[in-house]
Amino acid sequence: MRILVVEDDQRLARFLERVLVEEGYSVDRCGSGADAITQVRALGYDLVLLDWMIPDLDGLEVCRQIRRSGSSVPILMLTARDQVAERVVGLDAGADDYLVKPFEIEELLARIHALLRRSSGHAQLDLGALHIDRASRRAIVDDKPLELTSREFGLLLHLAHRSDRIVTRSELLSQVWSIQFDPESNVVEVHISRLRDKLGELEWMIETVRGRGYRLRTRPPKG
């Protein structure tokens, strides 16, 4: 799942990105309202984490413009404003939920999970015997939940969204780990190996395409 963090405090933005990446999400950041609107219109996000007080256009106007464009992407607004009337204004502008700063990370993650569950639509991915629930962040094989780490789940989900297509190693590093290509790192290979082990008899689903990357297959190889 892909989340846009809209926050002009770079220290906080980096912290939120790190927390969300550790939970297995793909994360983009921007620091202004105008950039947020442009990115939401151009890219497909599953959720927007939006600070109220950002440069050029504040969070309220960003919400309004996103909704006017027809987007129903869930928006969780972050703000130091704690008056009920201000919360109502934020919700009326198009935010789906509201979290007052300072907040506990556990509550932030719980609210994100709740919003993603409610947005449903394409929350469930069914790939033969493998079922992936994006909202609850669970993968199930033949009614048995897989014991996956957040990173393993994020890797599996990214491959599943691109099933039967080749995904490059550099794309996985960028989208699942939010880091640039590193020829010395074997982190992708290690996690792919662990995923295959946990898939058991379905290990064939993750194919190595030599010299190109990986592919999640939905049909077993012939022969």
Backbone angles phi, psi at 9, to 5 degrees: -80, 100
Residue in the structure block whose two tokens are 């790192």: 185
CATH topology of domain 2-119: Rossmann fold (3.40.50)
pTM above 0.75, yes or no: no
- pLDDT for 179 equals 67
Given a contact cutoff of 8 angstroms between Cβ atoms, the answer to whether 74 and 41 are in contact is: no
Distance CA 37, CA 66 (A): 6
Is the domain spanning 124-216 CATH 3.40.50.10130? The answer is no
% of the chain at pLDDT higher than 90: 41
- pLDDT for 188 equals 92
Strand partners, 99: 78
Which residue type, as a one-letter code, is found at position 201? E
**How close are the terminal C-alpha atoms of the chain, in Å?**
34
Give the containing element (helix H, strand E) for 113.
Answer: helix 105-119
| Encoded tokens for 113 | 């999970």
Between 119 and 142, residue with greater pLDDT: 142
CA 193 to chain centre: 22
| Encoded tokens for 150 | 């957040």
Instruction: Report pLDDT digits (tens) over 154-189.
Output: 899 889 888 888 999 988 887 787 666 566 788 999
Q: How confident is the model at residue 75 (pLDDT cuts 50, 70, 90)?
A: very high
Given a contact cutoff of 8 angstroms between Cβ atoms, the answer to whether 49 and 24 are in contact is: no
Instruction: Report pLDDT digits (tens) over 197-220.
Output: 999 999 999 999 998 999 999 888
Residue 167 DSSP code: B
Distance CA 24, CA 16 (A): 13
pLDDT of residue 85 exceeding 80, the answer is no
Instruction: Report pLDDT digits (tens) over 4-59.
Output: 999 989 999 999 998 998 887 888 999 999 999 998 888 778 899 999 889 888 88
Instruction: Report pLDDT digits (tens) over 105-119.
Output: 999 999 998 888 777
What are the boundaries of each domain within the chain? 2-119, 124-216
